[in-house]
Structure 1
Amino acid sequence: MSNQGKETRGFQSEVKQLLHLMIHSLYSNKEIFLRELISNASDAADKLRFKALENPDLYAGDGELGVKIWVNKDAQTLSISDNGIGMTRDEVIENLGTIAKSGTKAFLESIGSDQAKDSQLIGQFGVGFYSAFIVADKVTVTTRAATAKSDEAVMWESTGEGEYTLSDANKDTRGTEITLHLKDDEKEFLEDWRLRSIISKYSDHIALPVEILTKDDESSEVKWEKINKAQALWTRSKSEINDDEYKEFYKHLSHDYAEPLIWSHNRVEGKQEYTSLLYIPSKAPWDMWNRDHKHGLKLYVQRVFIMDDAEQFMPNYLRFVKGLIDSNDLPLNVSREILQDSKVTQNLRNACTKRVLQMLEKLAKDDSEKYQQFWNEFGQLLKEGTGEDYTNRENIAKLLRFASTKNDSDAQTVSLEEYVSRMQEGQEKIYYITADSYQAAKNSAHLELFNKKGIEVLLLSDRIDEWMMSHLTEFEGKTFQSVSKSDESIEKLADQESEEQKHAQKELEPFIERVKSILGDRVKDVKLTHRLTDTPAIVTTADDEMTTQMAKLFASAGQKIPEIKYTFELNPDHALVKKAADTQEDSEFKDWVELLLDQALLAEKGSLNDPSNFIKNLNKLLTK
C-alpha cells in the first residue's frame, strides 16, 4: 500500500490562473462542465480497452464499461464515476495539478483580464476537468488505477483556490469518481430533468452508456437508467446524424470551445475498409506554432480506441485537422512504430489528405467568406504544403490566397486562378514580390514599371513566402517571376525605347564605365534601366541567384549565407542620376555613386552594413 499519507500541494501557477479565468469567463455556458467530465470518463474507458488488449486481466470484475451519475440533494453533491483506466498518485499530480504544455504561461499572461476575450481564448485552450469549478466550490476525486489494489487508491480534493490535498484511500473498483460540492446558486444541477437534458444535448454520441440513478415515485425503487444512445457517432449512418450532433462530437474530440468550420464523414468499403470523420476548426489553437503541439487523428481499429494524436494519417501542413479514423485493416496491437512503415497507413494518409483538400476546395467555391475565415487562421500552414506534398501541389496552389496590387489592403484574398484570369494580353508570367512587410512590398521601387503598365503583382510578406516560392514554380502552365530579379520578360516590358532614349543611352556609356571603376567587384554589373519612374536606382539579382528574402531566412535560422552580388541599375531620367553624371570632381562623384547604391541597398535589404557612412555621404552632399 502507498504510505505517502496526506499532503497538501500548491497548484502550478498556470493552473491557478486558468481556474480563475475559466470560472469567470465560461460562466454563461456553465453546463459544459458535465460534457467535459463525461468526455474525460469516455477517454478513460477507451484507454482501458486499449491496455486490455495486452493484459485482459485489467477487465476483471467491475462490470460493463460506463459512466454513472447520481446526486445527493441533502449534501448538495453531484457525482460522476467511470470504471476506466484510473490514475496513480503521480498521474493525479501530473493531470490535476499541472498543465504540461510549453508556452502556457506566456499564453495565459497574454490574455490578461479582458473578460470578452477570455472565453474565446480559454475555449481555445481546451476546457477539461477544471471546468468543474465553474459550478462547484469543492471537488473531490477518488481514483484507483486499473493495475492497483483496492487500498492503493488516491483521493484528491481542492476548493480551486491555490492548492489541493492528496491522501491515500480505499476504492473497491478501478476507475475514477468525481464529486462536485455545488455552490448554493447551482442547485439546478441536482435536478433530474436538467441533467438528462445536458446529457442528451452533449453526450448522446459517446460510445459509452451514461446512466443516471433514478427513483420511481410510486414504488420508490431505485435503478440506473441509460440516457444516451451509446453508439459511436461515426458508426451511424450519415442520414441519421444532425449537424448539432456532429458539432458536439467535435467538441468531445477536440475539447475545443468553438464550433467546427466544416466536417466530412466518410465510410469506404472495398479493398480497404475504414471510416473517417474529419473536422476543420474555426479557430487556430493557441499553441499551433509550438514545437510540442500535439496533432493528428484519433485512431480506432474495429471501433477499439488505439491512440490519440496519430500524426501518421495527416501530413504536417494539415496539422490543424481534428478527427478520427477507424480502420478494419490494421492489427489491434498496432504501435506508432508499425504505423510509420505500414502500407495501409500510407494509403489512409493519402486518402485523408485528398479528402481535406477536397473539403477546402468545395468551401472556397461555395462560401468564399467562410473560406477567408479559414485562410486567416490556417493559411500559413497550407503554404507549407507546397514544399511538403509534391503530389497535391497543384490542388494546394488553387487554395492559396495573396495580397496584390489590384487591392488596397493587406488582406490575402486573391487566388491564382483570379490572377491568371486578369493577366494582360501577351503577359507570359505571374509576377510577385517578397518583402518583410506588406507596406515594404507595396511601396517597392521594383513595382514602378508594373504600376505604370497596369500589370498586377502579388505582394508576399509572410515569413514562409520566400520558401514557398522556391517550391511553387508554375501554375496552369504559367511560371512565377520575382520582380526583384533580372529577367527577360521584365526587360521586354521596359525596353520600348525611342531613338532619343537610345541616343541618350549611348552618351551615358562613359558614365556607366566610371561607376563600374568605383564599385569594382562590389557589384555584379552596372547598367541603365527604364523600369523606374520615381526612383533613381535599384539593385536586382540574377534569376539563378539567392534572393534577399531567402538570405534573410537563412540568417534568421543561424546559417551562413553566401554573399549576394547585386546588379546596380540606374534610372537615366532621374534628376539625381543626371546630377551624378554631370559631376566632374572625382571625390564628389564617388560620394554620389556610394549614396545611390546605399539607397538602393537600403530599399532592398531594409538595412546597411555601414549606415554611418551612408549618413556621412548624405550630409556631405546635402550641405553642398
Structure 2
Amino acid sequence: MTTATAEKPVSEAHVFEADVARLLHMMVHSVYSDKDVFLRELISNAADACEKLRYEAIATPSLLGDDPDARILLKLDGDNRRIVIEDNGIGMSRDEMIEALGTIARSGTRAFMERIEANKAGEGAQLIGQFGVGFYSCFMVADQVEVASRRAGEEAAWLWSSDGKGSYSVSPLEASEAPTRGTRITLHLNEDAKTYVSRWTVERIVKQQSGHVPVPIRIVEKEGEEPQQITDGTALWTKSKSDVTPEEYTEFYRGVSGQYDDPALTVHFRAEGRHEYTTLAFVPTTAPFDLFDPDRKGRMKLYVKRVFITDDAELVPRYLRFVRGLVDTADLPLNISREMIQDSPILGAIRKGVTSRILTALEKQAESDAETYLKFWETFGSVLKEGLYDDFERKTQLLGLARFQTTAGDGFRSLADYLKDAKEEQKAIYYLAGSSLEQLKASPQLEGFRARGIEVLLLTDPIDNFWVMNAPEFEGKSFKSVSQGAADLAQFAKPEEKAEEKTPEAKAEVASLIALAKEKLKDEVSDVINSDRLTESAVCLVAPETGYDRQLEKLLQGAGQLKTATKPILEINADHPLIKAIAGATGNPALQDDAVHLLYDQARVLDGDKPTDPRGFAERMARVFSKALGA
C-alpha cells in the first residue's frame, strides 16, 4: 500500500474488509428482481448527510457558508452511460471515507449475507434495506463507482474509487474537481443497467421511493441544462392526515424503515397542549431481522424543528421496538446533547404520549379488523408481551391486546373471550407454560381441566413464564399455573361423572402405595398425593404451591440462575388401571419398589425430561418385563 506524505498526498490502494468483499461478490453475482433499490439507498444517504450538516451547523453556522439550503442533484449522462448523485451535505474526510466505504462496523453484516444466500432471488431488495448495507447495492448496476467528497469546513477533498472486485483506492482530489461541500457519487453503469440514464425511469423511481425525503431533489437530463425539481423536500409528517394518501404513507414508510413491505398500521397525529410534537409511526407487516437481538433498541427518529437529531432516543419502550417512524418536536433545543436526551422530562412525556397512541391504535384495529390484528399478533405478539413484564402502568391495556392459544380450539383468543366462557364459580385464569404447543396439548396436567370443560391458556413464549408472575389479575381473576400447587378441581363437576365406590381394601392399597412411594422417592419428590387433575394418565409432576412453576424453573436452571431445583410433587391417579394393579400387588414388594420408581420416571418423561438414572430405569424395566413375560 502506498501512503500519503505530508508534502504531497498520493493515491492509496486498500483491500476491502473480508466481509465487505464477500458482500460485494454476492451483490454483483446475484440476480435481484428489483435493482431500483440502489437509487433509493444513495438518495437516503445523501439526505442523511444534509441532515447531519444541518445539525452540526447549529453549533458551527460557518459550515453552511453561503450555501445554506440543502439539496440533492441527479445528473444523467446517456452518452457515457453514467448517473451522478450529488449532495451538499456534511461530506467526508479521508478517514471517514475509508471507515464508511471500506468497512462495515455492523453486527448485522454476517447475518445479512447468510440470509441473502439462503433466500431466493427477488428478495434481495428488501434485505438490503433491512440490513443497512445500502451503498454497496450500487455495484449491482455499476462496473465502476467513484465517490468525490469534501467535508464541510475543510479544504482537502478526496476521491474513492472501486470496481467492486476486492479493492479500492483513495486519492486527493483537486479543489476544482471536487464539490464545494458534500459528496458526489458517479456510477459507471453496466450494460444491463443502461435504463437508469432515462429521465422517465429515474424520475419514476425517485417519486415512488424517495418522494418524501426532507431534502429537495433536482435532476439534470443533459449537460448544460438547468436542473429541474422533481420533489420539493416537504416533510410528509407536517401535512394534515387528510392531505396524505395511503400510497404516500407507504412510500414514506419504506424510506424511513428500509423495508419493502406495506405498513400494517399507520399512526399520524399532532399533540398540542403542554408539549407539542408530531408523530408519524408505522407498524410493519414483516418482522425486522434483528427483532430479538437483546441489544436492539427502537428505530424511531427524533427531529427538532425538522432537523434530524438522532435515531438513538428511546421514543417508545423496548416492547414496541418493531415500530418505525419519527417524532418532530419544537419543545427541545436544537443543540440538545445525548446526555440531555436521556434525562429529558420532555422526552419522557413524549414517550408516554406516543406509546399510548400506538397502543390505542392497536386496540381500535383489534376491534374493527380482527383478521389484520391477528396477523400483527402472530408476528409481534411475543415482543409486545414483554410489556406485561416491565410496564406495570399499561399492564391492563396490554393484557387486553394479548391473544392466546388455548385448549378451547386451534385459534387465538383474547382474555375477554376466555372470561366470557369461564365457569361461574371460576376464580382464576388457568395457564400451562411449555416449550411447544404440541407438548402442552399432550400434557397430563390438562386432563382434569379438559374433562370439566375448563379452558387453559397454552403459553409457549419464554417471556410468558415471567409476565404471569408479574400480572396478579385481569378483571378480578388471578393467573394460576395448572402445573403448580393443588388443582382445586373438586368444586367443578365433570359432565359425565362416574360414581365408582372403592372398597375399603382398595382405598387401603392405594394409601399403602402412596406411603411406599413417599419413602422410596423421598430424595426426588417433596410429596406424593392422590390427584384430582388426572383422568387419563397414571401420574404427573407439579410444582409446590410456593416458588416457581415447572417451566420457569427449567428456564432459570438452563440460564444458570437457579442452582438447586425445588423437589416436585408426584400426583397419582388412583382410578387408573395401572395404579390399581400396582397397588394390588401387595404380595410382591420388589415389583412395587420397581414400579414406584418407574412411575416417577414416566412422570418426568411426560414433563419433557429424562429419567434421573437412565441405567437404573433400564434395569427396572427389564425386571418388570421379565416378570410379566415369565422369563
Letter in 2 for 1:115: A
For 1:26 and 1:350, how far apart are their aligned partners in 2? 45
Does the C-alpha gap of structure 1 residues 514 and 505 become closer, same or farther in structure 2, counting only changes over 3 Å? same
For 1:434 and 1:366, how far apart are their aligned partners in 2? 30
For 1:407 and 1:497, how far apart are their aligned partners in 2? 26
The question of whether the paired residues in 2 share the 8 Å contact of 1:127 and 1:256 is answered with no
Determine the structure 2 residue equivalent to 1:41: 46
Partner-residue secondary structure (3-state), 2:521: helix
**Aligned mate of 2:92, from 79, 87, 93:** 87
Determine the structure 1 residue equivalent to 2:467: 468
Determine the structure 1 residue equivalent to 2:546: 544
Determine the structure 2 residue equivalent to 1:146: 152
The question of whether the paired residues in 1 share the 8 Å contact of 2:126 and 2:258 is answered with no
Does the C-alpha gap of structure 1 residues 13 and 373 become closer, same or farther in structure 2, counting only changes over 3 Å? farther
For 2:297 and 2:199, how far apart are their aligned partners in 1? 38
Give the C-alpha shift of residue 609 in structure 1. Answer: 3.0
Partner-residue secondary structure (3-state), 1:500: coil
Determine the structure 1 residue equivalent to 2:197: 190
Q: In the alignment, is residue 346 of structure 1 matched against residue 353 of structure 2?
A: no
Q: In the alignment, is residue 603 of structure 1 matched against residue 606 of structure 2?
A: yes
Q: In the alignment, is residue 569 of structure 1 matched against residue 576 of structure 2?
A: no
Q: In the alignment, is residue 57 of structure 1 matched against residue 62 of structure 2?
A: yes
Q: Structure 1 length normalisation: TM-score?
A: 0.92
Partner-residue secondary structure (3-state), 2:152: coil
Determine the structure 1 residue equivalent to 2:143: 137
Does the C-alpha gap of structure 1 residues 294 and 88 become closer, same or farther in structure 2, counting only changes over 3 Å? farther
Give the C-alpha shift of residue 345 in structure 1. Answer: 1.2
For 2:536 and 2:521, how far apart are their aligned partners in 1? 24
Q: In the TM superposition, what are the counterparts of 1:99-178 in structure 2 within 5 Å?
A: 99-112=104-117, 114-126=120-132, 128-149=134-155, 152-170=156-174, 171-178=178-185
Determine the structure 2 residue equivalent to 1:500: 501
Does the C-alpha gap of structure 1 residues 106 and 135 become closer, same or farther in structure 2, counting only changes over 3 Å? closer
Determine the structure 2 residue equivalent to 1:251: 254
Give the C-alpha shift of residue 193 in structure 1. Answer: 3.1
Partner-residue secondary structure (3-state), 1:306: strand
Does the C-alpha gap of structure 1 residues 271 and 530 become closer, same or farther in structure 2, counting only changes over 3 Å? closer
**Aligned mate of 1:328, from 330, 334, 344:** 330
Letter in 2 for 1:199: V
Q: In the alignment, is residue 10 of structure 1 matched against residue 15 of structure 2?
A: yes
Determine the structure 1 residue equivalent to 2:264: 261
Letter in 2 for 1:461: T
**1:30-51 C-alpha deviation (Å, 9 max, x unpaired):** 3332222111111101111111
Q: In the TM superposition, what are the counterparts of 1:260-409 in structure 2 within 5 Å?
A: 260-311=263-314, 313-408=315-410
The question of whether the paired residues in 2 share the 8 Å contact of 1:363 and 1:370 is answered with yes
Deviates more, 1:291-300 or 1:457-466: 291-300
The question of whether the paired residues in 2 share the 8 Å contact of 1:405 and 1:442 is answered with yes
Which blocks of at least 5 consecutive residues in structure 1 are unaligned? Answer: none
Q: Structure 2 length normalisation: TM-score?
A: 0.91
The question of whether the paired residues in 1 share the 8 Å contact of 2:487 and 2:532 is answered with no
The question of whether the paired residues in 2 share the 8 Å contact of 1:137 and 1:182 is answered with yes
Letter in 1 for 2:384: L
For 1:221 and 1:90, how far apart are their aligned partners in 2? 34
**1:47-79 C-alpha deviation (Å, 9 max, x unpaired):** 111111122221124452211111223222111
**1:402-422 C-alpha deviation (Å, 9 max, x unpaired):** 2222224xx6x2221222222
For 2:249 and 2:123, how far apart are their aligned partners in 1? 26
Q: In the alignment, is residue 591 of structure 1 matched against residue 597 of structure 2?
A: no
Give the C-alpha shift of residue 347 in structure 1. Answer: 0.7
For 1:557 and 1:265, how far apart are their aligned partners in 2? 41
For 1:19 and 1:199, how far apart are their aligned partners in 2? 24
Partner-residue secondary structure (3-state), 1:558: coil
Determine the structure 2 residue equivalent to 1:426: 425
**1:124-162 C-alpha deviation (Å, 9 max, x unpaired):** 33462222223222211111222432xx22211222233
Give the C-alpha shift of residue 597 in structure 1. Answer: 1.3
Give the C-alpha shift of residue 280 in structure 1. Answer: 0.8
For 2:122 and 2:210, how far apart are their aligned partners in 1? 27
The question of whether the paired residues in 2 share the 8 Å contact of 1:35 and 1:202 is answered with yes
Partner-residue secondary structure (3-state), 2:158: strand
How many residues are treated as equivalent by the alignment? 614
For 1:292 and 1:159, how far apart are their aligned partners in 2? 35
The question of whether the paired residues in 1 share the 8 Å contact of 2:400 and 2:416 is answered with yes
Letter in 2 for 1:403: Q
Deviates more, 1:36-45 or 1:370-379: 370-379
Determine the structure 1 residue equivalent to 2:584: 582
Give the C-alpha shift of residue 479 in structure 1. Answer: 1.6
Give the C-alpha shift of residue 578 in structure 1. Answer: 1.8
For 1:383 and 1:332, how far apart are their aligned partners in 2? 35
Give the C-alpha shift of residue 530 in structure 1. Answer: 3.4
**1:531-565 C-alpha deviation (Å, 9 max, x unpaired):** 22221111222232211211122122222333212
The question of whether the paired residues in 2 share the 8 Å contact of 1:79 and 1:179 is answered with yes
The question of whether the paired residues in 1 share the 8 Å contact of 2:112 and 2:127 is answered with no
Does the C-alpha gap of structure 1 residues 164 and 373 become closer, same or farther in structure 2, counting only changes over 3 Å? farther
Letter in 2 for 1:307: T
Give the C-alpha shift of residue 502 in structure 1. Answer: 8.1
For 1:79 and 1:103, how far apart are their aligned partners in 2? 29
Does the C-alpha gap of structure 1 residues 466 and 477 become closer, same or farther in structure 2, counting only changes over 3 Å? same
Partner-residue secondary structure (3-state), 1:323: strand
For 1:210 and 1:349, how far apart are their aligned partners in 2? 32
Letter in 1 for 2:562: K
**1:561-611 C-alpha deviation (Å, 9 max, x unpaired):** 332122221111222212221233333322111111121123225234322
Letter in 1 for 2:342: Q
For 2:30 and 2:254, how far apart are their aligned partners in 1? 18
Percentage identity across aligned positions? 42
For 1:516 and 1:81, how far apart are their aligned partners in 2? 81
Determine the structure 2 residue equivalent to 1:447: 446
Determine the structure 2 residue equivalent to 1:233: 236
The question of whether the paired residues in 2 share the 8 Å contact of 1:124 and 1:283 is answered with no
For 1:566 and 1:144, how far apart are their aligned partners in 2? 70
Partner-residue secondary structure (3-state), 2:485: coil
For 2:611 and 2:97, how far apart are their aligned partners in 1? 56
Partner-residue secondary structure (3-state), 2:261: coil
Letter in 1 for 2:464: D
For 2:532 and 2:319, how far apart are their aligned partners in 1? 42
**1:219-252 C-alpha deviation (Å, 9 max, x unpaired):** x973222221221111122221111211111122
Deviates more, 1:26-35 or 1:58-67: 26-35
Deviates more, 1:445-454 or 1:577-586: 577-586
**1:73-124 C-alpha deviation (Å, 9 max, x unpaired):** 3222111111111122232233222332225324422442532554554453
Partner-residue secondary structure (3-state), 1:154: strand
For 2:415 and 2:618, how far apart are their aligned partners in 1? 42
Give the C-alpha shift of residue 294 in structure 1. Answer: 4.7
**1:499-521 C-alpha deviation (Å, 9 max, x unpaired):** 71485435533332232232335
**Aligned mate of 1:518, from 505, 517, 520:** 520
Partner-residue secondary structure (3-state), 1:568: strand
For 1:523 and 1:365, how far apart are their aligned partners in 2? 47
Give the C-alpha shift of residue 612 in structure 1. Answer: 2.3
Deviates more, 1:97-106 or 1:562-571: 97-106
